[in-house]
């Protein structure tokens, strides 16, 4: 019997003012189930880290893709998210040795792919493979924000992960934008224009 490989795909980092948008893609292995998969936003950071390692070890294949702040500014956040998702599936395909048979995409639209794809609204709460992808994307992006925090501690990225918080706005006003800020996002643009 031929296995049908279905990958779940999700992203992290559409809303922040800084950094890449990151996507994860995961094909789960029915012979090695992972307990406790759910939407990454509903998990503690420690639990996400634990499940991230479990996914790396037990998934049939996984992939990570991203689109840079410069790409976000050039093509807009929606197109950049689609690009990151496609790159995640391409990365997974390299590890799997072929394209998966189908992609389940969290949200209401799918990137252009050479395989069948289905968009599932709130998919990260319905499909374990999408939950796993959301965990990979979130942990990867949070780790990037920690690195960015070490490079630019004045912005407080480790606390707000680049989201538009009062503290982030205050730092933007005081220090201006760093190279990783998304110039096309209006709060950043306003600071640069003032």
Of 8, 44, 15, the C-alpha closest to 126 is 8
59-93 pLDDT, tens digit per residue, is: 999 999 999 999 999 999 999 999 999 999 999 99
Instruction: Output the pLDDT for position 155.
Output: 97
- Would the CA dihedral through 44, 50, 51, 56 be positive or negative? positive
Is residue 1's pLDDT more than 70? no
Which domains, ranges and CATH numbers included, belong to the chain?
Answer: 6-143 (3.30.420.10)
DSSP secondary structure code for residue 5 in this structure: P
pLDDT tens-digit series, residues 7-60: 999 999 999 999 999 999 999 999 999 999 998 889 999 999 999 999 999 999
Percent above pLDDT 70 for the chain: 99
CA–CA gap between residue 106 and residue 118 (Å, rounded): 9
pLDDT in tens, 102-136: 999 999 999 999 999 999 999 999 999 999 999 99
Cα–Cα distance for residue pair 68/182, rounded to 1 Å: 9
Indicate whether 2 pLDDT > 80: no
**Closest C-alpha to 24, from 16, 32, 12, 13:** 12
pLDDT of residue 158: 94
């Amino acid at each position: 019997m031929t296995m049908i490989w279905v990958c779940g795909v999700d992203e992290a980092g559409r809303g922040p003012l800084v950094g890449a948008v990151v996507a994860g893609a995961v094909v789960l292995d029915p012979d090695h189930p992972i307990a406790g998969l759910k939407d990454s936003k509903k998990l503690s950071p420690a639990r996400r880290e634990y499940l991230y390692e479990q996914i790396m070890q037990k998934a049939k294949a996984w992939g990570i893709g991203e689109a840079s702040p410069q790409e976000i500014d050039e093509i807009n956040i929606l197109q950049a998210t689609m690009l990151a998702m496609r790159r995640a599936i391409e990365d997974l395909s390299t590890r799997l040795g072929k394209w998966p048979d189908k992609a389940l995409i969290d949200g209401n639209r799918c990137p252009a792919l050479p395989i069948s794809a289905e968009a599932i609204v709130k998919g990260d709460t319905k499909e374990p493979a999408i939950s796993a992808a959301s965990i990979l994307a979130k942990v990867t992006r949070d780790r990037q924000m920690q690195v960015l925090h070490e490079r630019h501690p004045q912005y407080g990225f480790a606390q707000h992960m680049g989201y538009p918080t009062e503290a982030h706005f205050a730092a933007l006003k005081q220090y201006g934008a760093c190279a990783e800020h998304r110039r096309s996002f209006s709060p950043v643009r306003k600071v640069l224009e003032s």
